Amino acid sequence: MVNTDDFIKRLEKLLDYYGLTASSFADKVGVQRSSISHLLSGRNKPSLDFILKIMEVFPEVDLYWILNGKGNFPKNEQQANINKTLFDTNQVSDAPEVSSTENVYENGNTETPVSKSSVSSKVEKIVIFYSDGTFKEYHPE
């Protein structure tokens, strides 16, 4: 049986980790906002359906960790950082599309950047993300 008080602490840790409010978490997972409120207040216990939705949206959450505190969160630190980055990137849905030769500033103005030939930059790492959640890193020599 799941200890509700401990489950609430783990759920709050999950919210803090992703910087989510209870409302945004409910929307992301696909449950009613009141359900999260009732869970966090200790009024209700988590359902299996709720746990499965968390596992689906946040694959780095270990089932045994969320249920009884055993295991790790996130499952794999490197994969979790990548998933968190992807999660944060997907949050930006209203960003304007910008061509590669323009910079868009907060006030909406665009400007063609000045050539940066005097600045010496070197590619350190290239990361390719695949739609199945996997990735590959390339390090130029």
Q: What is the mean pLDDT of residues 1-8?
A: 81
- Residue % of the chain over a pLDDT of 90: 23
Flag the least confident range among 20-29, 41-50, 89-98: 89-98
Average pLDDT across the chain, whole number: 75
pLDDT tens digit string along 104-134? 555 555 555 554 455 567 888 888 887 787 8
- In the CATH scheme, what is the code of domain 4-74? 1.10.260.40
Q: What is the mean pLDDT of residues 76-90?
A: 55
DSSP string covering the chain: ---HHHHHHHHHHHHHHHT--HHHHHHHHTS-HHHHHHHHHTSSPPPHHHHHHHHHH-TTS-HHHHHHS-S-SSSSHHHHHHHHHHHHHHT--SPPP--TT-EE-TTS-EEPPPP-TTS------EEEE-TTS-EEEE---
pLDDT tens digit string along 33-70? 999 999 899 898 989 899 999 989 988 888 888 888 88
Report the pLDDT value the prediction gives residue 96, as an integer from 0 to 100: 47
Q: 99 pLDDT band (50/70/90 cuts)? A: very low
